[in-house]
Amino acid sequence: MKRRDFFRRTLPLTMPVVLPSLVHGMSFRAWADSPSLRAAARGLGEGRVVVLIQLNGGNDGLNTVIPLGHYDAYHAARANIAIPENKILHLKGFDQTGLNPAMPEMQWLFETGKLAIIQGVSYPQPNFSHFRATDIWLTGADAGQILPTGWAGRYLDERYPQFPRNYPNPDMPDPLAIQVGSLVSPALQGPGLTMGMAISNPNSFYDLINDKSEPVPDSRAGDQLAYIREMAVKTDQYAGVIKAAAQKVTKQSDCYPAPGKNPLADQLKIVARLVAGGLRTQFYLVSIGGFDTHARQVEPGDPTTGAHARLLAKLSEAINAFQDDLSLLQVSDRVMGMTFSEFGRRIQSNASGGTDHGAAAPVFVFGEKVQGGVIGQNPGWPDKLTVNDNIAMQYDFRSVYNTLLEKWFLSDETIAETALLKKYPSLALIRQGA
């Protein structure tokens, strides 16, 4: 077996440091359409970052962003899990919509203009399988379409042609995309290979930058594992730049909880450090699981507590700490974040105190340059509900992607259309002048 093939086949299974994975506003064009100005816009966009936060399992949007405007109908549809009206967090300027009481930090971000809520995000003919629905969101496919590439991977392939040949180079010395917490997402899969890299877990990141390694067994197998780890670090062309970037940052926000208390916060802390350290990486992906709340979504007798509330609290705490950190590190104007989940939940709750797989759900977009507010209307539903009724789609998730590509990265419209396989409208998510 060739050495290159050996490393490709073994390292993702054994190596816990950074390594390539084999797992599969107003538009600038409206201002001026000259090639030189488009090129200048792309240059400005190169310094910008998108952070994607995946909520694995299918988040219950109705208990996250609550339709205060028709609270009685909401309560009637899910009396056993409905958040009490007097506990819902109100949103300044949008008195018909509120947040779960577990999310006070997100309420504060909204009030300071750093959070946008997009109602009813989905796609035509939604799929209710975790695996297939996740694949659709990550690849940008239609419901009946199977794609071997990811939406961000296609964009990066257009933006950085012939990668990885002749990369890194002076124009792009850094990884194009980084995922923290697992193998590289299918969202980053390009036409030929992945366009991103993975940091398998926060511990491996700190081992890398502190020149530490996880202990290995005192055996021949342990010696071989140690050798593989050593060679992976030596041969990985991006490990050095990641380490150098991380070591530039010595102080981060005190808003982060203690390590291990909030895995999402741990991941975002790494992202903030790498952004502030100077990496020009465009995409970061992080995730938090547990949102498949079929049963005991709330604690009996107190719907403000329970599994879902704990998850939303971690999400809110992590995003707030991340934003505070970006401000402290003076890079908050470069970062835009977005949450997504493979689907929402049904309108009606079930008899197990939970919710079943549904369709549309809200998406959060956050950052210093976001156009804060609520996009769309509170979801509505028929008077005579059935267990199969779903929240209707208001916005296609690919419109959110298109907005990030065209209005945040200032990508040429043709590149965005190629990445998303067709043209989608942009949303008013980016503050005018940003």
- Per-residue model confidence as pLDDT tens digits over 226-281: 645 544 443 466 888 999 999 999 999 999 999 999 999 999 999 999 999 999 99
The reported pLDDT for the residue numbered 256 is 98
The β-bridge partners of 20 are 197
The reported pLDDT for the residue numbered 45 is 65
The reported pLDDT for the residue numbered 214 is 62
pLDDT digits (tens, 9 = 90+) for 286-330: 999 999 999 999 999 999 999 999 999 999 999 999 999 999 999
pLDDT digits (tens, 9 = 90+) for 76-115: 999 999 999 999 999 999 999 999 999 999 999 999 999 9
pLDDT value at 50 more than 90: yes
Burial class (CB in 10 A: 0-12, 13-18, 19+), 116: buried
Q: Give CA–CA dist 380/377, Å, rounded.
A: 8
Mean pLDDT over all residues of the chain? 87
pLDDT value at 406 more than 80: yes
The angle formed by the CA atoms of residues 37, 42 and 45, to the nearest 5 degrees, is: 130
The reported pLDDT for the residue numbered 4 is 37
Residue the block writes with tokens 């970052």: 49
pLDDT value at 140 more than 80: yes
The reported pLDDT for the residue numbered 37 is 46
18-22, 38-42, 237-241, 331-335 — which one is most confidently predicted on average?
331-335
Task: Tell me the domain boundaries of the chain.
Answer: 3-420
Report pTM.
0.87
CB-CB contact of 86 with 67 (8 Å): no
CB-CB contact of 239 with 229 (8 Å): no
Q: What is the mean pLDDT of residues 153-159?
A: 97
pLDDT digits (tens, 9 = 90+) for 173-220: 999 999 998 778 999 999 988 999 888 777 777 877 776 666 667 776
Q: What is the mean pLDDT of residues 372-377?
A: 98
Phi-psi region of 93 (alpha: psi -120 to 50; beta: other; left: phi over 0): left
